[in-house]
Amino acid sequence: MKKYKELNPSLRTIMTPGPVEVDPRVLRAMSFPILGQFDPEFTSLMNETMELVRDVFQTNNQWSYPVDGTSRSGLEAVLVSIIQPGDKVLVPIYGRFGHLLVEIAERCGADVVHIETEWGGVFDPETVIEAIHEHKPGIVAMVHGETSTGQMQPLAEIGRTCRELDILLVVDAVATIGGVPVETDNWMLDAVMGGTQKCISVPSGMAPITYNDRIERKLLSRKRVERGLRDPANVELANDGQMIRSNYFDLSQIQDYWSAARLNHHTEATSMLYALHEGLRILLEEGLEARFLRHELNARALVQGVKGMGLTLFGNEESKLTCVTCINIPEGIDGEAVRSRLLHDFGIEIASSFGPLKGKIWRIGTMGFSCNQKNVLHTLGALEAVLIREGYRLPAGEAVQAALDVYSVVNKEGISC
């Protein structure tokens, strides 16, 4: 048999908008022994995980649990479970992930209407509200933090309008959850879908979601009732909707698996659940406020450093997404050559971008475990060195000094980053 080398991945500094570095305590949790999925030890871990998810999503929703799969599994599970063919869905787009919501909604058979604003900004909430009045959708789906453009959409006013008009508002908070406030209940969001590998800093492979009773009513109206096992209480509900077009992503079944009834659906991803439980525990131990502040301060230091070396930011700074910093690639510089040198000479990974922004901007993530003073200073120092190597003229030394200025004020206040 061919001999394969022992797995030995390099130790990187990961400054992309996901996946990011993971706390060794989370990695250790993933190596713990397997428990059976109905073992009381495991089911109590599932219950605790639901409590942790509620706290991070700032909600009292009973249904707050992870879907197994990458973040888009959460998006797809919610959309396929609530959209009936022909339902009108409004998607306001301000970057790549808005297009993903359109694609998924279309595959669910929705009648999708979208509005789009130029990449690099967000919507004035009034613009979305006008579109809601004009198109009268049953569902509005939108992105909270656009990783592709580094922008964050304010949601509270849109949430209030949707509630008043009895429209379901579902939100992709994959990039924001655990890094900036996501106030599910206060903003009146009906369903919120998160991800693990960004600010929560757990490996990719689960999608924590939460949804309220307005969503649950829709699920139950579409619940598939097994012949012979009919629950009389469900028959009427089961008959007025159309069957959910997915087995794996059928939230009406998945919630029965997470409920006290523990009706078998899939086999829970044991080691990922350990990881999520530990990652959320670490997150809440740090505290939501402290964590949001850490994300903000490191991003501020990064931004000051980037400007200090004479580079400019892409996008509207007023609506900047804290945990993703987009930088215009200077004229005459090969963006991919810079990324490659950063990776190979310094072991640092930063991201490029998609679609119309490909080759035009770099994106630097400051998320979760990767979001710290050491990583920000290393990245700035390395980026400066690489840019000089690539022939870009800049005020040498200014970047790290500008970031250190931010940290020295912060550290004096007793805040560690």
Ligand X SMILES: *Cc1c(COP(=O)(O)O)cnc(C)c1O
* 56-64, 66-74, 232-240, 344-352 -> range binding ligand X (CB under 6 A): 66-74
CB nearer to ligand X: give 71 or 366: 71
The answer to whether 229 and 263 have CB atoms below 8 angstroms apart is no
Q: Least distance in Å: CB of 146 to ligand X? A: 6
The first and second tokens of residue 215, run together, are: 């969503």
Q: How far is 242 from 256, CA to CA, in rounded Å? A: 19
- Helices 335-346 and 373-389 sit at what angle, rounded to 10 degrees? 120
Q: Least distance in Å: CB of 68 to ligand X? A: 12
CB nearer to ligand X: give 97 or 258: 97
Q: How far is 44 from 46, CA to CA, in rounded Å? A: 5
Of positions 13, 37, 72, 402, contacts ligand X by CB under 6 A: 72
State the CB neighbour count (10 A cutoff) for residue 299: 26
* 171-179, 247-255, 275-283, 329-337 -> range binding ligand X (CB under 6 A): 171-179
The answer to whether 323 and 174 have CB atoms below 8 angstroms apart is no
CB nearer to ligand X: give 79 or 380: 79
Q: Judged by CB under 6 A, does residue 172 bind ligand X?
A: yes
The first and second tokens of residue 6, run together, are: 């022992």
- Omega prior to 92 cis, within 30 of 0: no
Q: Least distance in Å: CB of 154 to ligand X? A: 16
Q: Least distance in Å: CB of 127 to ligand X? A: 20
Q: Least distance in Å: CB of 289 to ligand X? A: 23
Residue with tokens 């004479």: 310
Q: How far is 65 from 52, CA to CA, in rounded Å? A: 9
Q: Judged by CB under 6 A, does residue 192 bind ligand X?
A: no
**Binding characters for ligand X, 116-155, by CB under 6 A (x = yes):** ---------------------------x-x-x--------
Nearest to 79 by CA among 6, 140, 31, 154: 140
Of positions 159, 178, 179, 195, contacts ligand X by CB under 6 A: 195
Of positions 84, 204, 246, 352, contacts ligand X by CB under 6 A: 204
- The backbone torsions φ and ψ at residue 208, rounded to the nearest 5 degrees and listed phi first, read -65, 135
Q: What residue ranges bind ligand X (CB under 6 A)?
A: 18, 70-72, 97, 143, 145, 147, 172, 174-175, 195, 204
